[in-house]
Structure 1
Amino acid sequence: MVCAGQGLGFDSGRQHCNMMDSDLPPGSCNSTGHLSTIGYHTLPGRMHHSASTPAGVDGAGGGSRTPPATPKKGGKMLAVRIHMLDESISMFQIQSKALGRVLFDQVCRQLHLLEADYFGLEYQDASGTKIWYWLDSEKPMCRQVGLSMLEPNLRFCVKFYTSDPARLEEEFTRYLFCLQVKKDLATGCIQCNENTAALMASYIVQAECGDFVPEDYPDHTYLSGYKFFPGQDSESERRIMENHKKHLGQSPAEADLNLLETARRCELYGIKMHPAKDHEGVPLNLAVAHLGIIVFQNYTKINTFSWAKIRKISFKRKKFLIKLHPEGYVSGYYRDVVEFFFDGRNECKNFWKKCVENHGFFRCSSVQRQPRAKTRVISRGSSFRYSGKTQKQIVEYVRDNYVKRQTFQR
């Protein structure tokens, strides 16, 4: 496959990704193969890592860590605030000119995270458009989060939602995925019927509270302190309780896997909507997932362009283009190039970059890694390419570097 930039394309018939004219940065986010015990507070949603913290990070304190004093040498430093999936906050100090992967590697080392490439750091555009961007691992921090911010805020979250949770090798990785699903369910990102929502909530309760005990839980009010999904009421809590009763004997790890298996069957699992319009000006939402690019009208899926049907993706200012293989469209209904229009160039390019990364991660067996081209006065297009491990490479990497992690406490 050839993943392409602005005006460039990818050939979906090949399994080895060769980024044409691309400058792939050397190396992905390298997680350490040495694992040690990680402990957690017993309070829901609060994670405390008892393992050693990386250099440059002060591990003192509970959910929030304070950065050490700024070194006199080494250039200007950024104090970066990372919101973790368990609602805790970690502080890191990093040189403003350091590449994004330096910060991401520090976060992964603190978590002792082996399957790191499923995750990413997300930050919000400070210009007022409120776009969420993934931290580019091969771009300096100062060119992304901005030096004008006193303490840039980033979120550590799932970047690539696997369609097969069984491919996640470590229980800890599945636990982090469950925290992400829990957030997505609570914020309404995963929309499903009430029965499915109640079932997922019951797996969350089973993992956090253990078996249902009638003496401890005489009625549904033991769930009132939790907010699992929008519109939750006493009736839905009774439904959650009835499901919770059926999970007797399930370990937290089993409940986590059951939660992920249920979530992945939801149509909006891992879906992040990007507002756009078609060539007739009809409002739509675009999303990218493991199977390809999906088109929604409101929250109803109306079309899917699978990676196998796509020959090339590109953008030109506000216009996002999908070029299809001849067999990928019906003559008279679709043209060979499908166009969508975003409100601005930044929104368009941001979605294009997410498509490039998802294609590289899920569709390719490997990616070429070359130094990214330096910015020129006259550019032929974006040099952005996916620079991490592919899903296939992660599976092989973990099996080669796996060290059994001691049981962690939730």
Structure 2
Amino acid sequence: MRESLRRLTSDELVTRTMGGKRRVRVELLDGEHINVDIDRKARGADLLDRVCEDLDVLERDYFGLLHQQRGDPRVWVDLNRRLSKTFRNEPWDVRLAVKFYPPEPSELRDDVSRYQISLAVRRDLMEGRLTCSTITYALLASYILQAELGDSTGHLAPTALSDYRAAPLHAVTPDMGERARELHARHKGQTPAEAELNYLENAKKLPLYGAELHCARDSEEVDIVLAVCASGVSVYRDGVLMNRFPWAKITKISYNKKSYTLKLRPSEFDAFETQLSFKLPSTRACKKLWRCSVEHHIFFRRESPVKVERIAGFPRLGSRRISCRRTLRQMRADPPLPREIVA
């Protein structure tokens, strides 16, 4: 009986065979869900394009799709792979997310893309991947209030900050709420698009803005966090920045089993290249970090996507499939597709 109910729920709510199609349940950045019917042989890129079309997002290359795999809730869907090979079992559940955060939000040309990226930053703050001081929480919250409510009326409901996901619950205090209300009053006249841009312009200054975090250990077996972002790879210990390696300084990124290695070009005081290795909890985690690093390097540093070849001597080192359709330079050179005007 229980198995029958489980099968019935799965068939009705999420993935159903409909003439070679599958129904995918997509969680959006605002927490809402939509169902997308897509061909069973479609690739991850096809699904991402369908979701972006439904949301009217033009600058799609900043975005990606997350799914859960073996207990890890943040595994990126391979855009070049068939969905039927990615999802071995039903249901097909994915979550829209920002994969590459724009280092300069002011360069975004699409208001809808900017809005979706601001939702992603709000989600990062709410889920604890991004943290800041109480003063910064209040400043960011004030721009959300301006975007959502318009000009201040001098009164703010006690639950407004939580209702609009302006700040995580642990940061909401009477003092912070009062400070956010005061700052909100100063933003009079700003349109929602202007408020969202100002929100991102302040959020981009946070140390972990747009960073993918990976738990690891250094050569002394000390627990650290490796943060991969637009500028490079950073090392944090107990929340404190210990070292930063810009992409321009990194000459090679590799992994072997649980070992992740960065090779750094020599400085003016060094005669040889420096090689740093970090230990990850598993081979799967190490491969995930390597892939994240390579994709970020390609997107933010390269003129165009490049094919990543297998390393000689390591015939079974893992997949070299990279999900990066266009680089940031290509996006800046090519304007987004014009939005259709419906009469």
The TM-score, its normalising length taken from structure 1, stands at: 0.73
Q: Structure 1 276/212 Cα, relative in aligned 2: closer, same or farther at 3 Å? A: same
1:221 is paired with a residue whose SS is: coil
Tell me if structure 1 keeps the 8 A contact 2:43–2:79.
yes
1:236 is paired with a residue whose SS is: helix
Higher strand proportion (structure 1 or 2):
2
Aligned match of 1:183: 123
Tell me if structure 2 keeps the 8 A contact 1:220–1:234.
no
Q: Structure 1 162/224 Cα, relative in aligned 2: closer, same or farther at 3 Å? A: closer
Counterpart check, 1:312 vs 2:252: yes
Q: Distance in 2 between matches of 1:311 and 1:224?
A: 45
Higher helix proportion (structure 1 or 2):
2
Counterpart check, 1:70 vs 2:70: no
Q: Distance in 1 between matches of 2:43 and 2:303?
A: 25
Q: Structure 1 381/203 Cα, relative in aligned 2: closer, same or farther at 3 Å? A: same
Structure with the bigger RCO (C-alpha within 8 Å, sep 6+) is 1
Q: Distance in 1 between matches of 2:235 and 2:250?
A: 14
Aligned match of 1:383: 320
Q: Distance in 2 between matches of 1:300 and 1:120?
A: 29
Q: Which amino acid aligns with 2:83?
A: M
The list of structure 1 runs, each at least 4 consecutive aligned residues, that deviate by more than 6 angstroms after superposition, is 65-69
- Within the candidate set 76, 81, 84, 1:139 is matched to 81
Q: Structure 1 329/124 Cα, relative in aligned 2: closer, same or farther at 3 Å? A: farther
Q: Distance in 2 between matches of 1:285 and 1:328?
A: 28
Deviates more, 1:221-230 or 1:269-278: 221-230
Aligned match of 1:338: 276
Tell me if structure 1 keeps the 8 A contact 2:143–2:196.
yes
* CA displacement at 1:329 relative to structure 2: 8.2
5+ residue gaps, structure 2, are 1-11
Deviates more, 1:380-389 or 1:188-197: 380-389
Tell me if structure 1 keeps the 8 A contact 2:265–2:273.
no
Percent identity, please: 34
Q: Distance in 2 between matches of 1:297 and 1:220?
A: 39
Counterpart check, 1:162 vs 2:102: yes
CA-atom RMSD, angstroms?
2.6
* CA displacement at 1:385 relative to structure 2: 2.8
* CA displacement at 1:66 relative to structure 2: 7.0
Q: Which amino acid aligns with 1:101?
A: A
Q: Structure 1 272/90 Cα, relative in aligned 2: closer, same or farther at 3 Å? A: same
* CA displacement at 1:403 relative to structure 2: 4.5
- Within the candidate set 239, 246, 249, 2:186 is matched to 246
Aligned match of 1:204: 144
Q: Structure 1 237/328 Cα, relative in aligned 2: closer, same or farther at 3 Å? A: farther
Aligned residues: 324
Q: Which amino acid aligns with 1:137?
A: L
Aligned match of 2:52: 108
1:244 is paired with a residue whose SS is: helix
The TM-score, its normalising length taken from structure 2, stands at: 0.86
2:248 is paired with a residue whose SS is: coil
Q: Distance in 2 between matches of 1:160 and 1:328?
A: 32
5+ residue gaps, structure 1, are 1-64
Tell me if structure 1 keeps the 8 A contact 2:14–2:92.
no
Tell me if structure 1 keeps the 8 A contact 2:15–2:92.
no
